[in-house]
Chain A
Amino acid sequence: MTELSDFDDIPGTTLFTAQRSRKGYHLNQFCMSLMKAENRARFKADERAYLDEWPMTEAQKQAVLKRDYNAAIAEGGNIYFLAKLFSSDGKSFQDAAGSMTGMSPEEYAAMMLAGGRSPEGVRSIKEGR
């Protein structure tokens, strides 16, 4: 279990620990509901009303409404659950991942084509490497 404490030591990275899973339970289960076409249609028709059917926090609802995936993850969301949300928007993993980096979609795509983000300097906060 010792390594669990290191999980917050990686820059720009949130691991889906028990604590986060508990915090994000209803946010993630809301996302799962979008696997059904009829639920996607109801959500699209009135997003706020659909969200209000779920016992989610206001911060979680705002993250969804704004499609702010960093905020959603901070509120306990997990990327594979959030994928149901961006997929129902017709967005790809590349669109969603890129949106969390502060880069434009074009900049992010160019970075990936050039071989991706280097791990140099983003391995550990404590160790500064």
Chain B
Amino acid sequence: MARITAGLTTSHVPAIGAALDLGKSTSEYWQPVFAGYDWAKRWIAEEKPDVVVLVYNDHASAFSLEIIPTFAIGCAESFAPADEGFGPRPVPVVRGHPDLAWHIAQSAILDEFDMTIVNKMDVDHGLTVPLSLMFGQPEAWPVRVIPLPVNVVQYPPPTGNRCWELGEAIRRAVESYEEDLNVQIWGTGGMSHQLQGPRAGLINREFDISFLDRLTSDPEALRRMPHIEYVREAGSEAIELVMWLIMRGAMGDDPKELHRFYHVPASNTALGHIVMEPAR
């Protein structure tokens, strides 16, 4: 049977992709950011997951204001890097896993999650930057990816509790898939950041560290956190953190934190990264 073997979270700051693509990853500014992923890169090289369910938000790339799915799942064979206004990132095409993706979609829908099925979609920095952070600059990504875009652009985004429950449904779906696959789930985005208005540049280190702690110590409090609290405390774009709760919901009770990294700044953003595994 397929199993969810680990959960990972990371920010997906576009400037990180640009730094890597433009050969600036060893600069004084960026070196500490990339160094923060050395542990996880070694770890994932040993773990060799077959598939990553990659939870991210589309930043008005695949979805404009014409169609705004709250939860979508990419069921295509492959996904091309999006042109976000400066040409597509020079990164490999993302290979999907249509069979598992369709299985998750069907299972989640019958589990009362009304997923939007997407058979054609370009993927933006929200999805490709986490892959770059974990795998560097390979010829081809060494893992198949099921993109799971969540609306956090148009209000209201889904609640943290709903995200958590979707994570639980994804775990049930994966565990009912017959093939023996090693599956990871990644929640991306966050942490503190505000990209707009006179309050831009907001960073709340205390909130972020507490959020990282509570992912394992008090996740029930995070499930109930209203949107306004994310925005007040950690900036308008910190609302992306609800997506981390999809990962966390898929971990079940008492997961073990294996690694964490926190760094300010990456461009406008506080970068947070955590690796955990479900209780055995």
Chain A residues in contact with chain B, CB under 8 A?
A: 3-4, 6-7, 10-18, 21, 25, 28-29, 31-32, 34-37, 40, 69-70, 73, 78-81, 83-88, 90, 92-94, 96-98, 100-102, 108, 111-113, 115-119, 122-124
Q: Are B85 and A87 in contact (CB under 8 A)?
A: yes
Chain B residues in contact with chain A, CB under 8 A?
A: 14-15, 18, 59-61, 64-66, 82-87, 153-156, 192, 194-205, 207, 226-228, 231-234, 236-237, 264-265, 267-268, 270
**Is chain B's interface secondary structure helix, strand, loop, or mixed overall?**
loop
Partner of B64, one of A4, A29, A37, A111: A29
Q: A3-B228, A35-B84 are in contact. Are A100 and B155 (CB under 8 A)?
A: no
Q: Once bound together, how far apart are the Cα atoms of A100 and B198, in whole Å?
A: 5
Q: Are B195 and A79 in contact (CB under 8 A)?
A: yes
Residues of A within 8 A of B228 (CB): 3, 6-7, 10
From A15, A28, A31, A92, name the one whose CB has the most chain B CB atoms within 10 angstroms: A15
Residues of B within 8 A of A118 (CB): 202-204
Q: Are A15 and B236 in contact (CB under 8 A)?
A: yes
Report the tally of A-B residue pairs with Cβ distances under 8 A: 163
Given contacts A14-B196, A100-B198, 18 further A-B contacts (CB under 8 A): A10-B236, A13-B231, A21-B65, A35-B83, A36-B83, A73-B196, A73-B197, A84-B60, A85-B85, A88-B86, A93-B268, A97-B196, A101-B199, A115-B203, A115-B264, A116-B264, A117-B201, A119-B204
Q: A78-B60, A112-B268 are in contact. Are A123 and B196 (CB under 8 A)?
A: no
Chain A residue with the shortest CB-CB distance to B232 = A123
Q: Are B204 and A87 in contact (CB under 8 A)?
A: no
- State the Cβ distance, B219 to closest chain A Cβ, in Å: 21
Partner of A93, one of B65, B155, B205, B267: B267
Q: Are A93 and B153 in contact (CB under 8 A)?
A: no
Q: List 27 A-B contacts (CB under 8 A).
A: A3-B226, A3-B228, A4-B156, A10-B232, A10-B236, A12-B199, A14-B236, A18-B155, A28-B65, A29-B64, A31-B60, A35-B61, A78-B153, A83-B84, A86-B85, A87-B84, A87-B86, A88-B85, A92-B267, A93-B267, A93-B268, A94-B268, A100-B197, A102-B198, A112-B201, A112-B267, A119-B233
Q: Are B197 and A80 in contact (CB under 8 A)?
A: no
Q: Are B65 and A116 in contact (CB under 8 A)?
A: no
Partner of B59, one of A18, A80, A92, A117: A80
Residues of B within 8 A of A97 (CB): 194-196, 200-201, 268
Q: Once bound together, how far apart are the Cα atoms of A115 and B192, in whole Å?
A: 11
Residues of B within 8 A of A73 (CB): 196-197
Residues of B within 8 A of A21 (CB): 65, 154
Q: Are A10 and B231 in contact (CB under 8 A)?
A: yes
Residues of A within 8 A of B231 (CB): 7, 10, 13, 15
- State the Cβ distance, B153 to closest chain A Cβ, in Å: 6
Chain B residue with the shortest CB-CB distance to A97 = B200
Residues of A within 8 A of B65 (CB): 21, 25, 28-29, 32, 81
Q: Are B197 and A40 in contact (CB under 8 A)?
A: no
Residues of A within 8 A of B197 (CB): 12-14, 70, 73, 100
Q: Once bound together, how far apart are the Cα atoms of A94 and B19, in whole Å?
A: 13
Q: Once bound together, how far apart are the Cα atoms of A102 and B14, in whole Å?
A: 23
Q: Are A122 and B202 in contact (CB under 8 A)?
A: yes
Q: Are A34 and B201 in contact (CB under 8 A)?
A: no
Q: Are A92 and B15 in contact (CB under 8 A)?
A: yes
Q: Are B201 and A83 in contact (CB under 8 A)?
A: no
